[in-house]
Chain A
Amino acid sequence: MKKYVCFLLSLCVLLTFAAPASAKDDESQSEDTAKFDVTGLIMEHIKDSHEWHILDYKKEVDGEEEEVHVAIPLPVIVYANGQLDFFMSSAFHHGDSLVKKGDNTYILYEGKIYLAGKDGEITFNKDGEIENEKPLDFSITKNVASMMLVSIILLLVFISFAKAYKKNPGRPRGMQAVLEPIFLYVRDDIIYPNLGSKTDKFLPYLATVFFFILFNNILGLIPFFPGNANVTGNIAVTMVLAVFTFLMINLNGNKDYWHHTFWMPGVPVFVKPILAVVELMGIIVKPVALMIRLFANISAGHIIILSLISLIFIFQTIAVAPVSVIFVLFMDCLEMLVAFLQAYIFTMLSAVFISLAVAEHKHE
C-alpha cells in the first residue's frame, strides 16, 4: 500500500513537468503584458486597503477580455474641515472617481485617501512628495474588518468554552479539547512561572494577547477570503499591542519598581543618574522591541511566500511551479511555527516585564 502511494505521488510530481508543452505555444500573450511588477504585488498584499479583494477573473465583454474584480467594499469614515463623512469605498471605483460630500472632495491614490485640490488632482511638490492634505481617516479598512472578525471568533470560542467548562466537568470534547491545553499551557508555563501569586490578575490580558496574536497570525496565512488581511504584519496594530503592554507594566509598577528605575540602590552615587537615563530608555525600548519583532517576523514571512509564488510569474514558465509550490509549502509550515512562536514570545516577554514591575523585593 505504501509503495503504491509513493509511486502515485512521484507520478504526479513528474506529470507537472509535462504541462510546459501546452503553456508555451502562445507567444503573443507575453508581448502585451508588461514586465511583472513583483514589488507592487507584494506591497499591495502587505498593505491595508479600503476594500476586501476576493478574486479577479477575466470576462468577455463586447468581444474584449476584461478583468473583473470581485471585492467587498468597506465603509469609509473620514473627518475633514469639521465634517464627518461616511460612504462606501465602492464610490471611489478603484481610484477612478472623486467623491464629493458637502465641501470636501476625496480622492483615492495608492490606497490612501486625500483631500483633492481645487482641480480635483493630487499635487506633487518638487521632491515628488504628495502635497494634498489627508483627512482624519477612521474607516473600516481591511485590517479593521479582519480584527473584528477575529474578535468575534475569540469571543464565540472562549465564551462557549467557559460555559461548557461549567456545564460538563468531565473530559472536554471537540474544539475545546484542542484549545484548552493551549490555554493551560499559557497559564501554567508562560504566566505562572513569571508571575506566581499574581497570575490571576494578569491572566485575562496576557491570554487575550496570546490568542489574539495567534489567531491573527494564522488567519493572515490563509490566502483567500476571510484570511487575506495582514493584520499583525501592520506596524500600527503591533504598536497598539506594545502600548497596551507598556501601560500594563507601568500602571502596575509598585514603589520598588520606580525606585529601582530612577535611583538604583547598590551602585555608587555618580553612576545612579546614568543608570536612571538608561533605565528610562529601557522602559520605552522594551515595548518597541516587542512591536518590531512581531511586525517584522510576520511581514517577512508573508513577503517570502509572496516572492516565491511570484517566481512563477517572473520566469513565465510552468516548470518553476512544482519547485515554487513545494518551497511555499515548506515556508508555510515554517510560518505556522513562527505564528505560534511569535505569540508565545510576545506573551512571555510581556509576562516577564510585568513580573519585573510588580516584584516584591525583600530589602535587608
Chain B
Amino acid sequence: MFTIASIGAGLAVIGAGFGIGKIGSAAMDAIARQPEAAGKIQTAMIIAAALVEGVALFGVVVALIA
C-alpha cells in the first residue's frame, strides 16, 4: 500500500536537500575565498537554510494533512 501523500513528502524533501546543498556549497566557496568573513557567511547560510527548510516543510505539512 503506497500513499501519494508520502511520495509528495519525499519530493518536498528532495527539493529541500537540493536547495540546502546548493546554499552550503556556495557558503563553502565564499569562505574559501575569504576566510575572515567566515562568521558572517555562516550566519547568512543558516538563515537561508532555515528559509528553504520552511518552504520544504510547507510540502510536508500538506502531505501530513492528506
Contact = CB atoms under 8 A, between A and B. Distances in A.
> DSSP class of A's interface residues: helix, strand, loop or mixed?
helix
A297 B53 contact: yes
Contact of A292 (B47, B51, B54): B54
A292 B53 CA distance: 11
Interface string A326-364: 000000000000000110010010000000000000000
A345 B61 CA distance: 19
Contacts of B61: 292, 295-296
B57 A289 contact: no
B57 A297 contact: yes
Contacts of B51: 293, 345
Nearest to A189: B43
B60 A296 contact: yes
Interface residues of A, number: 11
B25 to A, nearest CB: 20
A292 B54 CA distance: 8
A297 B46 contact: no
A148 B62 CA distance: 30
Contacts of A341: 46, 50
A300 interface: yes
Nearest to A294: B54
A300 B50 contact: no
Interface in B21-66: 46-47, 50-51, 53-54, 57-58, 60-61
A295 B65 CA distance: 13
A300 B54 contact: no
Contacts of A296: 54, 57-58, 60-61
Nearest to B54: A293
Ranked nearest first, the 5 interchain pairs of A and B with the lowest CB-CB distance are: A296-B57, A293-B54, A345-B50, A296-B61, A341-B50
A126 to B, nearest CB: 22
Given A296-B54, A345-B50, 14 more contacts: A289-B54, A289-B58, A292-B61, A293-B50, A293-B57, A295-B61, A296-B61, A297-B53, A297-B57, A300-B60, A341-B50, A345-B51, A345-B54, A348-B47
B13 to A, nearest CB: 10
Contacts of A345: 47, 50-51, 54
